[in-house]
Amino acid sequence: MKLVLCEKPSVGNTVAKVLGVKSRKDGYIECGDHIVSWCIGHLVNLALPEEYSKEYKKWDKLPILPTEWKYNILSGTKKQFDVIRKLMNRKDVTGIVCATDAGREGELIFRLVYNEAECKKPIERLWISSLEDTAIKSGFASLHKGSDFDNLYRSALCRERADWLIGMNLSRFFTVRNDKVFSIGRVQTPTLAMIAARDKEIMNFKKGYFYTVDLDCNEFVAKSDKIENKSTAEKICAVCDTARAVSVKRENKFTAPPKLYDLTTLQREANKHFGFTAQQTLNIVQKLYEAKLVTYPRTDSRFLTEDMEDTAQAVINTITNTLDYKISETPNIKPVMNNKKVTDHHAIIPTVNLNKTTLESTSSDERKVLELIALRLLTATAPKEEYESVKVGLESGGEKFTVTGKTVINDGFKAVEKQFKTGEEKETALPDIAKGNTYDVSAKVTEHETQPPKAYTEDTLLSAMEKAGGKDFDENVERTGLGTPATRASIIETLVKRKYIERKGKSLVSTALGNELINAVPETLTSPAMTVEWENELSKIAQGKADNERFMKNIEEFIKETIKN
């Protein structure tokens, strides 16, 4: 018998159906020569400081640097852990299949349970990106050796323990020093700092004005460059009665189709179109994944692997047969395939399970996100948009004016996109303008206000988190930015829960408490630089190119240095 351990009960049920359900028990399912069981998220968690020593009940006893790490089982999930431990140690179970989510955190969840159960049996690894029956069967037909993922586990363990050390030590240190409860985190603190800095820019913004002279040439309007002084603009306006075209530049250009969705980009788009928070989108797409309607959601790739051409074509056929979107040209799948840009999982796409029946079983919000994912596959494989760009320079009253226009030659992917997006501003096509043409004009001065920076929305914050420190990451690092696609939503929710930021409409703004925290900690904790360094090292550990013990030693030194100062 082999014990298959999944991450969630719903996934366990899906896997069991494929393996052939024989008998359902309390906490597991027997499937012939397999037993399928499941975790309930993180069954095994790091112990609190006071579980190491009673002296740590006092928050000024620092630093806390365990030499042997302790773990515990949450009381609410102990029953399921006991089920798994008994199954792992059953005499007829000869091996374990790790079937938790195929990524760093999934590997950690499994290994902690395996270690805490004191299991020594051989491990095999199921590594799949879809819960479709065919994907599960294929995965079981080509299981990996568990040892192939030892470095991934070491990387996950370092991330978990380093975050614990930062949180437990520095939260206590800055709380005691400032006589106010502060929560410090490697990702949450620099994220809060970005929001606080933006809010400060908005608060300190001084409104200004600039002016343009606008020439109404009957069929089009040309504008001057920005003019700082109103009287200067009025003087220019007073002498403008005719205009002459002095330059006409025409260029054929194109706009490339968008890339497929990774989780962060999907969260941004769902926030922009539907106002969903990042966490809401993650919850929705997770349900769609467990319903076998989309592929694995917690991905940071926007490409498919090069063996997926037939799969992608089949999914496109399914979309056009199920949804109301039409395509007029044969899909070009080659541009969305790139093995080098797929790490743990490929981009998020629908599955061939999408049909009228499954669509009817989804909620309104689930259908919105599902259609967004489906539409992106259609647009990403559609032709480029082709257009002629025209820039005309005019002269009037001794001053220069410009007007630009765009004439679409081929809508390409925009023809598909327009079936979803409505009310977008249309590009202006200019009349036929030749160099030397003259026009009688009506001129006026237009006043413009300078605009402050915009407060972060969930969309723009996710983008900022993704790009933070980007230029400092190694070329081959697995992930860049603050957090990972799977954790960014929870970081935002944690900041809201701890009252460091709040939602005002679509905006995310820092609170007085959040600003107090940022002002109380050194720049090393508010800058993304530390995360850049960590993720570089964690990626190298996962690749077997860096020493996990050296990484942890550096974290401990950083904590000692911070507390000393």
> Which residue numbers are catalytic?
296
CA distance 443 to 224: 11
Does the domain made of 154-203+454-564 have the CATH classification 1.10.460.10?
A: yes
Mean pLDDT confidence for 223-235 = 96
Instruction: Report the range of poorest mean pLDDT among 76-90, 279-293, 467-481.
Output: 467-481
Mean pLDDT of 414-433: 79
- Arithmetic mean of pLDDT, 218-228: 95
pLDDT for position 471: 57
Percentage, residues of the chain above pLDDT 70: 97
Q: What is the pLDDT of residue 324?
A: 85
Mean predicted confidence (pLDDT) in 111-140: 95
Per-residue pLDDT band at 507 (split at 50, 70, 90): very high
Query: Using one digit for the tens of pLDDT, what is the confidence trace for 248-270?
Result: 999 999 999 999 999 999 999 99
Banded model confidence at residue 27, pLDDT cuts 50, 70, 90: very high
Average pLDDT over residues 140-144: 97
For domain 2-142, which architecture applies? 3-Layer(aba) Sandwich (3.40)
Helices (H), 78-183: 78-88, 104-116, 133-141, 150-178
**How far is C-alpha 62 from the chain's CA centre?**
35
Fold of the domain spanning 209-256+384-449: Topoisomerase I; domain 3 (2.70.20)
DSSP per-residue letters across 468-527? TTGGGS-TT-S--SSS-TTTHHHHHHHHHHTTSEEEETTEEEE-HHHHHHHHHS-HHHHS
- Predicted confidence (pLDDT) at residue 473 exceeds the cutoff of 90: no
* One fold for 2-142 and 154-203+454-564: no
Domain parsing of the chain, residue ranges: 2-142, 154-203+454-564, 209-256+384-449, 263-380
Q: Provide CATH code, domain 263-380.
A: 1.10.290.10
Q: Is 306 helix (H, G, I), strand (E, B) or coil?
A: coil
pLDDT beyond 50 at 521:
yes
User: pLDDT class for 427, splitting at 50, 70, 90?
Assistant: low
479 — pLDDT class (breaks 50, 70, 90):
low
Mean pLDDT calculated for residue range 324-350:
91
- Each residue's pLDDT tens digit, 171-209: 999 999 999 999 999 999 999 999 999 999 999 999 999
Residue 480: what pLDDT?
A: 63
Rounded CA gap, 425 and 413, in Å?
Answer: 17
